[in-house]
Amino acid sequence: MRKMLWQSGWTWFVLFACASMGYGQDVKAMITEAAKLSDTAKNQEELTRLVEICDQASGLELAQAQVEYFTKLEAWARNKRGEIYAETSLMTDDPEKIQKLEAAALKDFSLAIKKNPKHWQAIHNRALSYATLGQTEQALADLDLAIKLNPKFETAIYNKAELLYEVSHFAAALKQYQTVLKLNPKDVGAMTGQAHCFYRLESYEAAMMAYNQAVKLAPQNPLVLANRADAYSDLGYFKEAILDYKKALTLEKDLPRAQQGLAWILATCPDDTYRNPELALRFAKAAVTQSDGLDFRYFDTLAAAEAATGQFDVAKQRVGEAIKKAPTSEKPFLQHRLALYEKRQAYREPKR
């Protein structure tokens, strides 16, 4: 838990003000308890008590130094409690609980900002809650404000890039990733994000250079290898893709991303040299088992592997599951594969 750097000095100053101005023991006790809690508070209950003390103090006639102390303290406590709500929401898959927790976090972050309009951490945290709740414009506005208040706040710049990428503003996202890399050239996430943007902008050579650099920065990171493998596969460099997927799986044997990507090549590659339907089926089944079952691509890959091994009736059912889970933009491609399986034909990727 981050400690307030201003706390100790302010505490003694405020306690001195109590004595010199004749305030009673009750106010001194409140300040003492608040100071102690600000050092030790680690859970929702302790932070709630701290907020209650600050709320009680707001109803008293206090010296200006005391008002400022409790105002800053409440902003800090609400931001920390909001972080606990937000972190708890990440540990549940229940949409109703997520909405409830993020709404509670959003309220605390907003009240923290009201108490301290320059609290850039709280502004950044509120942006993440807005993003989780699907309020993209508000999230971007808060991220801009957090960055304005702290231009070297890498996390805020990175999260702005991620959010822009998520809404398909790839050129704008690229600029933000590159800003992060200027501050920290070894940021693997930003390097990977830059590669993704280049790829989506069809700057394939630049994309592969960035993917290669990301692998150099994190050669033992299986996800970084899987990212490069995905790009190799999409561009038709099947040998290189297979090597990267296999290396990723040596680092993390049950990585669904790598299992699915490898299975797709082994089932659908236009080059007979790399196709292995039986092995594809094994990896595709493992990917579905290891994943959360929400991504349509895992079912699509398993269907392709089943069709490649002649199990067309099962493949039809499986691609039907993929169609139900897929976004509208992907459904035509899945319908095309379903039509092939109905004709008892396996799917092959077109030659590059």
> What is the tens place of the pLDDT at every residue in 274-331?
999 999 999 999 999 988 777 999 999 999 999 999 999 999 999 999 999 999 999 9
Joined tokens for residue 135: 């309020």
Rounded to the nearest integer, the mean pLDDT of the chain is 91
In a domain, 183, yes or no: no
Structure tokens at 111: 């009240």
In-domain check, residue 151 = no
Most confident of 24-28, 131-135, 348-352: 131-135
Say which residue the tokens 């990267």 belong to.
244
Q: Based on the number of CB atoms within 10 Å of its own CB, is 96 exposed (0-12), middle (13-18) or buried (19 or more)?
A: exposed
Task: Determine the Cα–Cα distance for residues 113 and 44; give it in Å rounded to an integer.
Answer: 19
Is residue 208 assigned to a domain? Answer: no
What per-residue confidence (pLDDT) applies to 62?
Answer: 82
SS3 label, residue 351: coil
pLDDT at position 25: 53
Host H or E run for residue 302: helix 296-308
Whole-prediction pTM: 0.84
DSSP code of 270? Answer: S
More confident residue, 262 or 37: 262
Helices (H), the chain: 7-21, 25-40, 44-58, 64-89, 95-115, 120-132, 136-149, 154-166, 170-183, 188-200, 204-217, 222-235, 238-251, 256-268, 277-290, 296-308, 312-325, 331-342
Please indicate, yes or no, if residue 272 is contained in any of the structural domains.
yes
Looking up tokens 């902008």 gives 201
Average pLDDT for 152-174: 97
Q: Number of structural domains, the chain? A: 1
Angle at 53 between CA 90 and CA 4, to 5 degrees: 60
Identify whether 299 is part of a domain: yes
**What CA–CA distance (Å, rounded) separates 11 from 270?**
72
CA distance 292 to 312: 25
Render 103-158 in DSSP notation, one character per residue: HHHHHHHHHHHHH-TT-HHHHHHHHHHHHHTT-HHHHHHHHHHHHHH-TT-HHHHH
Q: What is the per-residue pLDDT across 182-224, written as a single tens digit (0 to 9) for each?
A: 999 999 999 999 999 999 999 999 999 999 999 999 999 999 9
| Structure-token match 């790839």, residue found | 170
The tokens for 23 are 């305030």
Residue 347 counted as domain residue = yes
Structural domain includes residue 136: no
Mean per-residue pLDDT for 72-99? 93
Is 15 a residue whose pLDDT tops 80? no
Residue 14: pLDDT band by 50, 70, 90 thresholds? very low
Closest Cα partner for 267 from 161, 152, 352, 347? 347
Of 209, 216, 155, whose CA–CA distance to 184 is shortest?
155
Q: Is 281 within the bounds of a domain?
A: yes
pLDDT given at position 63: 83
Expressed in angstroms, the distance from the first to the final Cα of the chain is: 53
User: 320: domain range?
Assistant: 255-351
